[in-house]
Structure 1
Amino acid sequence: MKTLIALEDGTIYEGRSFTGAGEAVGEIVFNTSMSGYQEVLTDPSYTGQLVTMTYPLIGNYGVNPEDMESARIHPMAFLVKEYNPIPSNFRSTQTLADFLIDHGVIGVHGFDTRALVRHIRTVGAMKCIVSTEDLDPASLVERAKSWSGLVGQDMVKRVTCTEPYGWADNKPVPGTNFATARCDADTPLKVVAFDFGLKYNQPRLLVERGCQVQVVPATTDAATVLAMNPDGIFLSNGPGDPAGVEGVVETIRTLLGKKPIFGICLGHQMLGLAYGGSTYKLKFGHRGGNQPVKDLTTGHVEITSQNHGFCVDMNSLSADEVELTHINLNDNSCEGMRHKKFPAFSVQYHPEHAPGPHDALYLFDRFIEMMRAHS
């Protein structure tokens, strides 16, 4: 089915839908991972975006229930060079096309994804519309321009949970709390995890390290969290502009110094704002499972998984209070920081390794050590 991809600057690409009729508008971005497309699709951080994969062949290993990073697909559309409709993998339970159709997400292939990615890399991430229904290029460009965009928008409210839940038996458990959560450790640490768009592998890794995890909505206030008397507070990843998220910065600022805090991705950015700093939008963001990051405290280089379009401006923070701990080796942007007075640290990338390698799992161990030291 003929599909047009229209960017706000007037650039048009023609492809074919492999999921039937559909239309979607959002910010067009690209991901450089060679695998892990199911994890990409179920990452809440992609809310409001149209994702293009740079790897040319997608769909060859299908999808399965075990590799879900959340309960549903979050990108508005999925764009690939060539879709493989016949998966070959013993774990596969469904084709990628059927997976997208089940979640109402349009999939497009049969166009030059390399040309699109080179264009975004030069011009920057842009508003975009994908459609099988409106095939008038001029109309589509105007409709793309009229989309509100991500800057200043609170995208977290679209993905955060509505009720608290726990984690047990390798899955979310509605209504679970610290009194009833199951954990095999003799002395489990209690972690309250803010859900800004949390990926399942984050509570999974905390539980594997002997923690009981209580996931709470992004709107949960500081008094409610402190009343749970946790050993630590985890700030998850999430979508969009951190400056557009309502109320969370004030909550984090109240919690600083009272409990150890570990932030990832959007949680890292929210910490930066709570420290009194600011964030800015990157030209085309960092998205993929192969981003090089240097740990300035050890000199080690990690190959990391990333998905973000905004960044903490270290120049906006006091060097007497906040230390830069990690940098991106592609553009020297901030990838990690720690507070010098309070037990709080964070990274911009995704150490939960799904998708991506295992280089950064030590950060979860560091959080455990920090909680033990302050318990």
Structure 2
Amino acid sequence: MNNNSSTSNSANNTKTNLSEYKIIMIDNFDSFTYNLVNQLKTFVNDVQIYRNDTSIEKIATVCENENNKVMLVISPGPGSPKTAGNVLELLKLLKGKYPILGVCLGHQAIVESYGGTVGHAREVVHGKSHQLDITSNGETLFAGITPFYAARYHSLAATTMPENLDVLAFCEEEVMMVQEAKDKVIGLQFHPESILTPNGSELIKRILTNLIS
């Protein structure tokens, strides 16, 4: 009973710290977007959704009006970063100004925005849970929640990595998680909102806290 109470208090404290922030979700026309939104709302009070064809100027203005208390989340979606509306241009403009989390296609867009490349994955994976290999750079975020199993739904993956992105996790030699700590940017190739990622919510809580620290 005491353990449950402690866990509940910890979650409430995290939400209090994050509640000052608004999340701007860039929706890449994906069926997983609202599952991810529901997960994020566990930790923040406000998630606003804009499609990836929304003008860059509008998104930038929305962010500026939040007095720096805003995070961007780039959703999963079909296609590649180059076909994802204004996402690459948005990242070019806003990375380093606001914390950013990218999931699946959003992760791939982050890789490309820093100069990496995205191409065909070694294996097409749809709806499978795989154990991640955590690097030394990822040990802090994954402390106490390993082995970590993650849901994978992707046919594309990072094929070359830019030097300024740290890899936090791999799976079968595919890059699964990246970070640019100075810019406060994190990308996840896997789906933290899926039931096939049992500790996904705990990881998201840690990521959001890390991004605003």
| Bin of the TM-score, shorter chain as denominator length | 0.7 to 0.9
1:322 is matched with which residue? 165
Is 1:349 aligned to residue 190 of structure 2? yes
- Quickly say closer, same or farther: Cα 1:339–1:284, change in 2 above 3 A: same
- 1:242-286 deviations in Å (ceiling 9; x for gaps): 333343211111110110001110000011111111101124412
| Residue number among 255, 266, 284 corresponding to 2:105 in the alignment | 266
Check if 1:336 corresponds to 2:177.
yes
CA RMSD of aligned residues (A): 2.2
Amino acid at match of 1:266: L
**Contact 2:25–2:73, Cα closer than 8 Å, also in 1:** yes
User: In structure 2, what residue type is equivalent to 1:362?
Assistant: E
Measured in 2, the distance between the counterparts of 1:277 and 1:309 equals 17
Residue aligned with 2:37, SS: helix
Question: For 2:113 and 2:199, how far apart are their aligned partners in 1?
Answer: 28
2:41 alignment partner, SS class: helix
The structure having more radius of gyration, on CA atoms, is: 1
The alpha-carbon deviation at position 336 of structure 1 amounts to 0.6
Whole-Å separation in 2 of the counterparts to 1:203 and 1:248: 18
- Which one of 114, 119, 135 corresponds to residue 280 of structure 1? 119
Aligned partners of 1:188 and 1:212 also within 8 Å: no
1:305 and 1:189 map into 2 onto residues whose CA distance is: 27
Structure 2 residue aligned with 1:302: 148
Q: Flag structure 2 segments of 5+ consecutive residues without an equivalent.
A: 1-14
In structure 1, list runs of 5 or more residues that go unmatched.
1-183
Q: Contact 1:324–1:337 at 8 Å: present in 2 too? A: yes
For CA contacts below 8 A with separation 6 or more, give which structure has more relative contact order. 2
- Trace 1:32-181 onto structure 2 (pairs within 5 A): none
- Larger helix percent: 2
Q: Name the CA shift for 1:340/1:306 in 2 (closer, same or farther; >3 Å).
A: same
Count of residue pairs the alignment pairs up:
184
What corresponds to 1:367 in structure 2?
Answer: 207
Aligned to 1:131: none
For 2:36 and 2:201, the matched residues in 1 are separated by: 11
Partner of 1:236 in structure 2? 75
Say if 2:61 is the partner of 1:227: yes
2:27 aligned with 1:191: no
- Residue deviations 1:218-242 (CA, integer Å, cap 9, x gap): 0123332232235100011011233
Q: Give the corresponding residue for 1:250.
A: 89
CA distance change for structure 1 residues 241 and 371 in 2, over 3 Å: closer, same or farther? closer
Which residue number corresponds to residue 9 of structure 2?
none
| Corresponding residue number in structure 2 for 1:216 | 50
Shift of 1:341: 2.5
Please give the alpha-carbon distance, in whole angstroms, between the structure 1 residues aligned to 2:100 and 2:58. Answer: 16
Q: 2 CA distance for matches of 1:279 and 1:317?
A: 11
Decide which moves more: 260-269 or 331-340.
331-340
